[in-house]
Structure 1
Amino acid sequence: MQQIVVGVAVVRDGLVLAAYRPGPEGGWEFPGGKVEPGETDEQAAVREIREELDLEIKVGESLGPGEDISEAFRLHVYRAVIVAGDPVLREHSELRWFAPEELDESDWLVADRPFVRALRTRR
């Protein structure tokens, strides 16, 4: 059974927050992490964004069916809005706010790309 990983597309004023994962297979991604036993996807998203970015968020709609990261992990991505705080860089090399027209999926991690497409079409 695959473990679920949640990614969060934090949206503010029409812009989407992305985090850059450095390294040879790096790229932009939606911040987030693993769903712990007993947590819902939404609870994990709130916890992970608090830990990684020091933000309080309200989780909204799913951006579509999950994507396999590997045999062990499956990524689910949700939209969210900021309830409190400003993003703090803790675990990534860079944070950036993207306008929908700036979302070029080739710069993103492979598993995140279908969710980038969903954001561009849904705005």
Structure 2
Amino acid sequence: MFTAYVVVTIVTIAANAWAALADFAKVQFVVDNSDQLGLPRTWLSTLGWLKAAGAAGLLLALLGVPYIGVAAAGGLVLFFVGALVAHVRARVFGKMIIPGAFLALAAATLALATNLP
């Protein structure tokens, strides 16, 4: 179980760190998605910082601070539930797989983190 937790957490960290960097760099697909969802481009840095904070919290968990990891995973779950809500509200159903995948990673990390001995 611990090995699964480590692997899933590392994948979640990598995915969210990559997404945060894409937000900070305002990569074209991020800007296009933001426009489709009706989000102001000024929010991209804040969204990037939230993803980066989640990734950093998960990294701290792997380094021995488990409660921070549970909080980070929970925060990422809430973040990506919000992302799915934004997609539904904007009726951008074709791209829901992306925040859905990030939500699945965060939820799996949270589930595994809360079941550690």
Task: Give TM class, smaller chain.
Answer: under 0.3
Rg larger in structure:
2
Whichever structure has more helix as a proportion of its residues is 2
Query: What TM-score do you get using the length of structure 1 for normalisation?
Result: 0.24
